[in-house]
Amino acid sequence: MVVVLTDADTGQEIVWFIRRGKPYFYLRDKETKRFIKRLKEIEVRCFQVVDYPIKRAKKSNPLYVDVVGITRITAEEWDYIEEVEEKLEDATFLRVSSMFGYAVSNTLLELSGYEYGSELRVSAKYRENRYCWVVMWKHKPEDKPRKLEGEDWL
């Protein structure tokens, strides 16, 4: 079985396959289909968004929140990718709940999607049950967004 993903960092392809019973991640050129390099780990990123515009806000208190949860996985852990994505989604939900309240996260938070990247920016690994998070928010579209980031347990 072969899985081909688009690398969010380079635009190339991340290929997962099993050879001689061992799983591998490789970065592959999109046009020539040649392998560029072997990847020991990739990043999995879960993006969630709160978009509460001024038209829907009852007290003229709009809220725009972008939250991302990031962890690293190895080729051996790819079999558990659904579990990894679910845990990242739950962790980012809890992060938004702790910052803005359960009502905001339960009613307004929407899953935006997942990305897979070959450039490793965080040290949090899934096998260690760790993830990094970044939350950016603002109340009005013209405001400068505020940013908070950290690392936590899954």
Handedness of CA 68, 117, 22, 38 (dihedral sign): negative
Phi and psi angles of residue 56, each rounded to the nearest 5 degrees, phi first: -90, -20
Neighbours of 112 (CB within 10 A): 14
> What pLDDT is attached to residue 120?
95
Q: CA-to-CA distance for 45 and 47, rounded, in angstroms? A: 6
User: Would the pLDDT of 99 be above 90?
Assistant: yes
- Number of helices followed by number of strands (H, E) in the chain: 2, 9
Nearest to 64 by CA among 47, 82, 76, 50: 50
**What Rg, from alpha-carbon coordinates, does the chain have?**
18
Q: Kindly list the domain boundaries of the chain, sorted by start residue.
A: 41-153
Query: Which DSSP symbol is given to 9?
Result: T
**Average pLDDT value for the chain:** 93
Question: What is the arithmetic mean of pLDDT over 117-125?
Answer: 95
pLDDT band at 81 (very low <50, low <70, confident <90, very high): very high
Nearest to 71 by CA among 136, 123, 149: 123
Question: What is the arithmetic mean of pLDDT over 81-94?
Answer: 96
> What pLDDT is attached to residue 62?
87
Q: Is 136 left (phi over 0), alpha (psi -120 to 50) or beta?
A: beta
Q: Is 69 left (phi over 0), alpha (psi -120 to 50) or beta?
A: beta
The pLDDT tens digits of the residues spanning 9-60 come to: 999 999 999 999 999 999 999 999 999 999 999 999 999 999 888 788 777 7
> What pLDDT is attached to residue 52?
86
